[in-house]
Amino acid sequence: MDYDLLVIGAGPGGYHAAIRATQLGLKVACAEMGELGGVCLNIGCIPTKALLHAGEEIANSKHAAEFGLTFTETKLDIAKLNGWKTSVVKRMSGGVSSLFKANKVTHL
């Protein structure tokens, strides 16, 4: 196939460039050997923020007594927490895939 532009990498810069190029009328392919979204989305920022959010919820629960809420026990199910984090990442990565389809970017 012939393309007007080949974008290497589908991290934040790459996928934005690929989508914008199609919006400007170019036929675009984006080469990504890993997951769409790059390091930040898949193994860096987003998974970390998801796990930090869970920690914030635990910290917030410690102040719940001020509002009349009492919890007797806080337990951490690490497998369930990891599963939730993975679902957040997959949902966001799927969003990039949907944007590629909607904008006719070929993912290589």
| Residue 72 reports pLDDT greater than 80 | no
Instruction: Provide mean pLDDT across the span 7-17.
Output: 95
What pLDDT shows up at residue 62? 80
**Reading across the β-sheet that carries 5-8, which strands appear in turn?**
5-8, 28-31, 106-107
Phi-psi region of 37 (alpha: psi -120 to 50; beta: other; left: phi over 0): left
**pLDDT band for position 2 (cuts 50, 70, 90):** very high
Name all domains of the chain by residue range, CATH numbers in brackets: 5-107 (3.50.50.60)
Q: How many CB atoms lie within 10 A of CB 103?
A: 15
Count of CA atoms in the C-beta half-sphere (13 A) of 95 = 13
pTM of the model: 0.74
| Residue 18 reports pLDDT greater than 90 | yes
Between residues 59 and 97, which one has the greater pLDDT?
Answer: 97
